[in-house]
Amino acid sequence: MFGRSAKLPTIENLHLVNAKTHTSSSWVTYLNHYLPLLHKEIHINIQKSQAQQQKYYNRNRKTKESFLEGDMVLKIKMKDQWKFSEPKFSGPWKVVRITNEEKTAFLLEDASPESRKRKHKAKKTTTANIRDIYKL
């Protein structure tokens, strides 16, 4: 009705027993012989299908970047701060600390030349997730 039709196992090699001529023991023997064959073929079809789906899913995925303390990064500005005449990145920023176990959240310190010229020692810091930063 909707979507593609399912790939069913081939039934050409199945020898159907006439329902009127079988006994319960012959039917059990038949099922014990042919059901594992069907299950194996179904399992192979499912594996092929999942491999194809995984290939399509992973086709345009970015590889996960890893950032270490001391790396220089650019941070994406929030969308409401984007202006046509200005870049959408701020920085450079220096990764000061990784703030979670999955290594996806970071504490960043301003590493721009203007911050180095400031007379007071306090440096500007911010936090960022891995999706919001890019390596220099």
Residue 7: pLDDT above 80?
A: no
The 10s digit of each residue's pLDDT in 46-99 is 999 999 999 998 888 777 788 899 999 999 888 887 888 888 888 899 999 999
In sequence order, the β-bridge partners of residue 109 are 94, 125
Higher pLDDT, 44 or 81: 44
Q: Do 71 and 93 meet the contact criterion of CB atoms below 8 Å apart?
A: no
CA 116 to CA 101: how far, in whole Å?
31
Residue 13: pLDDT above 70?
A: no
Work out the end-to-end distance of the chain between its first and last CA atoms, rounded to an integer number of angstroms.
52
The 10s digit of each residue's pLDDT in 23-39 is 888 888 988 999 999 99
